[in-house]
Amino acid sequence: MQSPTLLPDAPFQPRPVSTIVIGDEVSIPAWIHDLESYRRWARSDDYPSRGWFSYLNGVVWVDLSMEQLFTHNQVKGEVAFGITVLLKQLPMGRYFHDRTLLSNTKADLSTEPDGLFYHHDTLRSGRIRLIEGATRGYVELEGSPDMVLEVVSDSSVRKDNEVLPVLYWRAGIQEYWLIDARGPQFVFNILRYTPEGYVPVPAEDGWLPSAVFGRSFRITQQSDPLGHPQYTLSFRPA
């Protein structure tokens, strides 16, 4: 029989919370108590490389679910590809893929959208700023890009449809592109900023006009030779 573990003679002393461990996979420091401390952690070497994390108006959101290949990964990839093609023709700004840290102090948020875009003039004006890392290069964007993209997954329904629209609006982001490819009907909306909140842009013959890009967009869904969904982002003059 295995001997019992011997306990120390000293009386047990409870310690204050120093780390929050989720599923023995992710450790979140307990010293995160506001936006700036979260951003410090997000820029550090201790920030997890697996999972999705956001600081949204005082709440740290954690998503450790695997990314769905055909209703999430392929959708945001096609949007990134299509916009990149457009920007090669009209170099009006820069588009960034996911894992780009975006922070906005006015909206009290720090998150990694599925994609974002800013005009060169937005960067020149200081509405968006490039934040350097501790060693070299840029690791974060601070301020208000002109467009953000979110693709809904099973674990992000409330965040993408209820929480982020309010915070992105407070951040003054002009367009919120919201896509849901999970159901039988593919849903693509461009939400336009107004002083009262975001409003969906009405479609024109199946095309959604974007004031940010000066183009109209649509996304069509087909099937590949094995029957899996694939997508095409098209654009035309607005």
Q: What is the mean pLDDT of the chain?
A: 93
Predicted TM-score of the model (pTM):
0.91
pLDDT tens-digit series, residues 6-49:
555 666 667 777 788 887 778 899 999 999 999 999 999 899 98
Digit-coded pLDDT (tens) for 85-141: 999 999 999 999 988 999 999 999 999 999 999 999 999 999 999 999 878 899 999
* Helix (H) or strand (E) run with residue 77 in it: helix 74-89
**Identity of the residue numbered 211:** A
Name the residue type at position 137.
G
The full set of domains in the chain, from first to last, is 69-237 (3.90.1570.10)
pLDDT per residue over 70-86, tens digit each? 999 999 999 999 999 99
211: left (phi over 0), alpha (psi -120 to 50) or beta: alpha
Render pLDDT for 164-195 as a digit per residue (tens, 0 to 9). 999 999 999 999 999 999 999 999 999 999 99
- pLDDT class of 224 with cuts at 50, 70, 90: very high
The dihedral of CA 23, 29, 33, 38: what is its sign?
negative
- The whole-number pLDDT of residue 17 equals 73
**Single-letter residue type at 30:** A
